[in-house]
Amino acid sequence: MAQAVIHIDRPIPDDAVGLDDQYRIVGPGDESLPEAHAAIVGGVRWDATRFELAPRLRVLSRTGIGVDAVDLDEATARGVMVTNTPDGPTVSTAEHAVALLFSVAKTLTEHQQRLRDAVGDYGGRSTAIELDGLTLGLLAYGRIARRVARIARAVGMTVIAYDPFVASDRLPNKDRAVELVDFDSLLARSDVLSLHAPLTPQSHRLFDATVFDSCKPGVILINAARGGLVDHDALVDALDTGKVGAAGLDVTDPEPLDPGHTLLHRSNVVVTPHIASSTVVGRQRMLSMAIEQAITVIDGGRPTCLVNPEVVGSRQ
């Protein structure tokens, strides 16, 4: 084909790898979509309306894992391959989830505010806890959760996980030390719950009032997956009653929260703006992987991270 056109929905760094004069880069504005053969995209919603803007599109390449912002049925009907970068954000996101856990467990926000206010008696006022000996429960046990588990076990935590799609005997040896349990056991046994599941109709607002009532009193909630996994009104109520002792959130619903939202103004809650994967190295890794997937399709190949494999039979 003639020079392929690749739309990138954000400013591209000078050191982006995998691009040369064979490809013309356009974007980030939507006005360039009509000529695009490939699109490298973040979290922008891709539905029928947006697909209509890109009639030449052959591949939609996500710089991340989740594809809940993409209408996969619409993409498949149009013969558009959808890819993601499942290995790209693993390290950065896992480290961020652990950082959120340490931040709320060690009450860093409260300590900092007391120091600013010069209240004194800092040790006597501390409610920080030790994680050694506590149980970490993981909702889903994919790449990111497994890395979180290794870090948690290194600091002395017992780790359990609920994932109906994972069989213990098929895990790598280094990940078999984690006990796989049912969902009720996950809630009943966990001192800390860390969410790593994709957002689906079944998991939408899974953590509601009923689920929080089934948790251990004072449980710590960590969410670096998708904000829609949690009913935030129920979370606020659980924080008010002490059923949830603290929360560390990188994702919310909606995103971002209104500046006046109560979750942004609680000393036992840390909220970051969906940036867990956005380390310098993480961004470069995901962009490079997304570009590689897109170029594979443009060059007539099958990408290694194809999300809608059924599209192969429908492409003309």
User: What does the angle CA 97 – CA 206 – CA 310 come to, to the nearest 5 degrees?
Assistant: 85
Instruction: Give the phi and the psi of residue 30 in degrees, each rounded to 5.
Output: -65, -20
Catalytic position from the list 7, 96, 146, 226? 226
Contact status, residue 55 vs residue 246, Cβ threshold 8 Å? no
Contact status, residue 274 vs residue 2, Cβ threshold 8 Å? no
Instruction: Give the phi and the psi of residue 306 in degrees, each rounded to 5.
Output: -80, 120
Query: Among this protein's residues, is 189 annotated catalytic?
Result: no
Query: Among this protein's residues, is 226 annotated catalytic?
Result: yes
Catalytic position from the list 255, 265, 302, 315? 255
Nearest to 7, CA basis, from 24, 21, 247 = 24
Query: Among this protein's residues, is 255 annotated catalytic?
Result: yes
Contact status, residue 307 vs residue 82, Cβ threshold 8 Å? yes
Helix, strand, or coil here: 239? Answer: helix
Contacts of 94 (CB under 8 A, 6+ apart): 144, 145, 147, 148, 151
- Token readout for 294 is 């897109």
DSSP annotation string for 125-176: H------TT-EEEEES-SHHHHHHHHHHHHTT-EEEEE-TT--GGGS-GGGT
Sheet of 23-26, strand order = 23-26, 4-8, 38-41, 59-62, 81-83
Total residues belonging to the chain: 316
Catalytic position from the list 114, 143, 189, 274? 274
Catalytic residues: 226, 255, 274
